[in-house]
Amino acid sequence: MTRINSTQSASSQLDRRSLQAVWHPCTQMKQHETYPLVPIVRGKGVWLYDDAGNRYLDAISSWWVNLFGHSNPAINAAIRDQLEKIEHVMLAGFTHEPVVALSERLKQITPGSLGHCFYASDGASAIEIALKMSFHYWQLCGKPQKNSFISLQNDYHGETLGALSVTDVAIFKQTYAPLLRPCTHVPTPDWRYAETGESAEAYALRAADALDHYLAKNHAHTAAFILEPLVQGAAGMGMHHPVYLQRARTLCDQYQVHLILDEIAVGFGRTGTLFACNQADIAPDILCLSKGLSGGYLPLSVTMTTDTIYQAFYDDNVARAFLHSHSHTGNALACRAALASLDIFAQDNIIETNKTKATYLNRIAAKLATHGRVRNFRNCGMIWAFEVDTALQDFATACFQAGLQHQLLLRPLGKTVYFMPPYVIEEPEMDLLIDGTLHILDTLSA
Ligand SMILES: *Cc1c(COP(=O)(O)O)cnc(C)c1O
């Protein structure tokens, strides 16, 4: 399939060179014998531009990371300013203004009292840190038998071995199963699994009962319950009622199990509140953030925890310390990008502005929601998703390719199409997104 203005110029050159030298993520490379790569040369706002002059509306925020558009002037300026001061310095034995300021700000804006920030570069690393920290905490408290983890059915927490152990997405996990630690996945509150006529809330409470039963029997060897609050992203944007989080918090307290919230994808306004757990009015023992943390600009993740956990490690004995590190921990440029992104939230009243945008998108998406092939149309904050009733074998690839023809970057998860646009999206761009998607559905199902 060719793109709109595909020329024989630089485009195919870069495609060919990339295929020879770059092993692309989450990709069967042989498929690129059929589908060309899209060489992006610049971005502005919601738009990505390729070297043939085509543009694509980044409807999935470049794998859920971008918040305020590509080449955002304020974030660009902050990084440039920081570049003239210090780009990076190791964080053991040293510190710097951006990492201190960011940690202070994160403590202020996150729920509860998550006063201690441990940094890494990727989401999966933040998960590894959370798991190690929880296990180590119980060991330090004389409960080494609390050494297993539970997560939600269909949860996704990243793809390094520890994170993959608590992930429950077969396509990523199956092959590596012999390398992974066993993990129990408790029933998901995702309302797509509810009985006909059962409300999202009633279903979430039923799932919480299953959690209760599990913990009643197994709490003595369970260190932590980790979950994706409100929206299970890789599962196909499965959404659940916040009452589940309230029950999970209560049960974790009751059974002395850490509650780890993975807000790597849902944090920073994605679900309509700054953090998903705000909607349940709860705070976790450990919070993992990444993706939108730096506005999607630079690899940065953080694992935040309470004073109780922190104090267990605080000792004269070096061996009781949390001896974990990554080379780029607390990178100054990434922290400055994060601070600039948080400034935008405050200055532009983003949470409120997004509500207006979401209302508009829901209004124009009515045609989509009632489309004959669309099932389970749903929305949570700045995330929209629906399943497509189609017999097409590889719907995801066909939809991605058709999207490019309509100036859209869509990347369905199986038969689930979702929108997760940058917050700078404007009404005409939303119109284009909905009209294009309707066209694609009609074309692909014709
Ligand atoms: C993306 C994601 C991760 C992993 O983050 P990486 O930066 O890709 O390692 C973990 N958990 C959730 C919920 C995610 O969406």
Task: Give the pLDDT score at 63.
Answer: 97
Residue 100 pLDDT exceeds 80: yes
- Within a domain: residue 89? yes
Mean pLDDT of 197-223: 98
* Domain assignment of residue 19, given as a range: 6-71+350-445
- The rounded Å distance from CA 251 to ligand 1 centre is 25
Of all protein residues, the one whose alpha carbon is nearest to atom 15 of ligand 1 is 265
Tokens of 259: 């509650």
- Within a domain: residue 80? yes
Q: How confident is the model at residue 1 (pLDDT cuts 50, 70, 90)?
A: very low
Domain identity same for 375 and 332 = no
Say yes or no: CB of residue 50 within 6 Å of ligand 1.
Answer: no
Q: How confident is the model at residue 252 (pLDDT cuts 50, 70, 90)?
A: very high
Domain identity same for 45 and 188 = no
Rounded distance between C-alpha atoms, residue 421 and residue 68, angstroms: 9
Of 161, 291, 411, the residue with max ligand 1 atoms within 8 A of its CB, to mutate for a pocket test, comes to: 291
Say yes or no: CB of residue 228 within 6 Å of ligand 1.
Answer: yes
User: What integer best gives the mean pLDDT of the chain?
Assistant: 96
Q: Report the nearest atom of ligand 1 relative to the CA of 263.
A: 13
Residue 106 pLDDT exceeds 70: yes
Tokens of 289: 């953030």
Say yes or no: CB of residue 158 within 6 Å of ligand 1.
Answer: yes
Domain identity same for 156 and 105 = yes
* Residue corresponding to tokens 């029950």: 247
Dihedral sign from CA coordinates of 23, 24, 26, 28: negative
Domain identity same for 83 and 38 = no
Quick: pLDDT tens for 170-185.
999 999 999 999 999 9
Q: How confident is the model at residue 363 (pLDDT cuts 50, 70, 90)?
A: very high
- Within a domain: residue 269? yes
> How do 408-409 and 47-50 pair as beta strands?
unpaired
How many domains does one find in the chain? Answer: 2
Rounded distance between C-alpha atoms, residue 233 and residue 17, angstroms: 32
Task: Give the pLDDT score at 445.
Answer: 73
Percent of the chain at pLDDT > 70 equals 97
Say yes or no: CB of residue 155 within 6 Å of ligand 1.
Answer: no
> How do 184-186 and 148-152 pair as beta strands?
parallel
Output the pTM of the full model: 0.97
- Within a domain: residue 167? yes
Q: Report the nearest atom of ligand 1 relative to the CA of 290.
A: 7
- Within a domain: residue 108? yes
Domain identity same for 377 and 394 = yes
Rounded distance between C-alpha atoms, residue 36 and residue 25, angstroms: 15
Say yes or no: CB of residue 162 within 6 Å of ligand 1.
Answer: no
Say yes or no: CB of residue 233 within 6 Å of ligand 1.
Answer: yes
- Tell me if residue 302 falls in helix, strand or coil: strand
Quick: pLDDT tens for 2-41.
455 554 455 569 999 999 999 999 999 999 999 999 999 9
Mean pLDDT of 122-151: 98
- Within a domain: residue 1? no
Mean pLDDT of 78-102: 98
- Within a domain: residue 259? yes
Mean pLDDT of 268-277: 98
Given 300, 327, 348, which residue is the final one in a domain?
348
Residue 68 pLDDT exceeds 90: yes
Mean pLDDT of 417-437: 98
- The rounded Å distance from CA 234 to ligand 1 centre is 9
Domain identity same for 317 and 368 = no
Quick: pLDDT tens for 375-398.
999 999 999 999 999 999 999 999
Task: Give the pLDDT score at 4.
Answer: 53
Say yes or no: CB of residue 247 within 6 Å of ligand 1.
Answer: no
Given 316, 348, 380, which residue is the final one in a domain?
348
Task: Give the pLDDT score at 8.
Answer: 47
- The rounded Å distance from CA 288 to ligand 1 centre is 10
Tokens of 427: 């009404």
CATH code for the domain in which residue 21 is found: 3.90.1150.10
Domain identity same for 318 and 389 = no
Of all protein residues, the one whose alpha carbon is nearest to atom 5 of ligand 1 is 123
377-381-387 Cα angle (round to 5): 20
> How do 222-227 and 258-262 pair as beta strands?
parallel
- The rounded Å distance from CA 13 to ligand 1 centre is 32
Say yes or no: CB of residue 229 within 6 Å of ligand 1.
Answer: no
Task: Give the pLDDT score at 138.
Answer: 98
Tokens of 431: 């119109």
- The rounded Å distance from CA 268 to ligand 1 centre is 14
Tokens of 51: 């070297």
